[in-house]
Amino acid sequence: MNAPQTSNSARKRLMLLATGIFVLIAIAYAVWWWVVGSHFESTDDAYVHGNLVQITPQVPGTVVAIEADDTETVKAGAPVVRLDPADTDIALAQAEAKLGQTVRQVRTLYVQNDALAADVDVRLADIERAQADLARARSDLARRQALAKSGGVSGEEILHAQTTLKSAESGLAQAKASLAASKAKLATNQALTHGTTVERHPDVLEAAANVRNAWLATSRTVLPAPVTGMVARRGVQVGQRVAPGNTLMNIVPLDQVWVEANFKEGQLRNMRVGQDVELTADLYGGSVKYHGKVIGLDAGTGSAFALLPAQNATGNWIKVVQRVPVRIALDPKELQAHPLRIGLSMDVEVDVGKQEGQAVTQATRTEPVWVTRAFEPDHKEADAMIQKIIQANLAQ
């Protein structure tokens, strides 16, 4: 009889001990959750994102060289694709010849100003001479008409004097018309050259702009890398005819990637911009920790921006917990030490204990998100070329 009682009492002690242990575990978990766990939100629905910088030609042409391939790293400004420059070289030569011809034509306008001004002086002298001839003819006619009353002059002489008068009047009218024509030519020529020089003449500036445009097209036969990064998805081949806008390859700047973590809508309650984030990548495992900051929450859920948004106004509707992408910036030094690739999975844990930040980004951007200087050619070369052509054709 004592053995069963002893066994029951031992069992009760074990049950009480187990219950106490579970209660202690529950209390410890509750304390941990209150002190630590409630201050963190985590998800494994997170992936690495980055910019896919497309290499597209700005002028049509035939590919003659490819200087970078997939998985290779290129520096910003380094050539990655070259096009055949034959067509653009011809267009540049034609533009240079046109500029030289225009300079000579405009220079001729300035030379004609002096010639036309001299011609106006000649026409004024012709008018003075015609006026003198007209006065003499009138005087001769008046004298003969006075002598005709006494019979000293024949009618034939009077007729001859009248003809001379009409000829003098016609000569004066012709001289005035010639003067008006010369003045009109001079005014037209001066209007084309007034207030400017040969170098700044509109026709010369237009021809110079055509040279600069042709030079720019020639420089664009070499396609530079806009950013430093790794080449991906090269689709261009040597000998291929490409047009402006065709995607030839992509360059991914791996030092500028970020993470988009898709949190459930209930996890966003205490999430703020600027909160600290700790991340791990499946690529390196838990031994490598990344640190980042929450920089923004997307404006909507993934389904809201889907090609075919969900329609929930149906009779058999079932609520589905939605997820909102949260953008996280990573530490550049950690990225340099352990590079990531676009599309890799990440485990994310956000410290939501700090509530000083804003629920959404309120700051207004004052500078561009990304900037490249690879497409800013040195126009000094084109300017020097234009000045050389102008001076060569402006020589007196």
Give the pLDDT of residue 189. Answer: 72
Domains of the chain listed by start with CATH number:
88-216 (1.10.287), 257-306+318-363 (2.40.30.170)
- For 374-382, what is the mean pLDDT? 83
Give the pLDDT of residue 396. Answer: 57
On the question of pLDDT at 247 being above 90, the answer is yes
Give the pLDDT of residue 332. Answer: 92
Give the pLDDT of residue 132. Answer: 82
Give the pLDDT of residue 329. Answer: 95
Which of these, 330, 252, 274, lies nearest to 46 by C-alpha position? 330
- Taking the CA atoms of residue 72, residue 77, residue 78 and residue 81 in that order, the dihedral angle to the nearest 10 degrees is 90
Residues 6+ apart with CB under 8 A from 76: 224, 225, 226, 227, 228, 372, 373, 374
Q: From CA 323, how far away is CA 307, in angstroms rounded?
A: 17
Tell me what the pLDDT averaged over the chain comes to.
85
The two tokens of residue 264 are 């459930």
Say which residue, 136 or 184, is predicted with more confidence: 136
Give the pLDDT of residue 18. Answer: 81
Give the pLDDT of residue 112. Answer: 74
Q: How far is CA 377 from the centre of its chain?
A: 13
Q: From CA 271, how far away is CA 45, in angstroms rounded?
A: 16
pLDDT digits (tens, 9 = 90+) for 141-168: 677 666 666 666 666 776 777 787 788 7
- CA angle centred on 94, ends 243 and 394, rounded to 5°: 140
Q: From CA 329, how far away is CA 295, in angstroms rounded?
A: 6
Q: From CA 386, how far away is CA 100, in angstroms rounded?
A: 9
Give the pLDDT of residue 154. Answer: 65
Residue 36's pLDDT band, with cuts at 50, 70 and 90, is low
Q: b/e per residue, 134-150, with b = 16+ CB within 10 A?
A: beebeebbeebeeeeee
The answer to whether the pTM exceeds 0.85 is: no
Q: From CA 39, how far away is CA 395, in angstroms rounded?
A: 81
Give the pLDDT of residue 193. Answer: 75
pLDDT digits (tens, 9 = 90+) for 164-206: 778 877 877 887 787 777 777 767 776 667 778 888 888 899 9
pLDDT digits (tens, 9 = 90+) for 306-334: 777 777 766 677 788 889 999 999 999 99
Radius of gyration of the chain (CA): 46
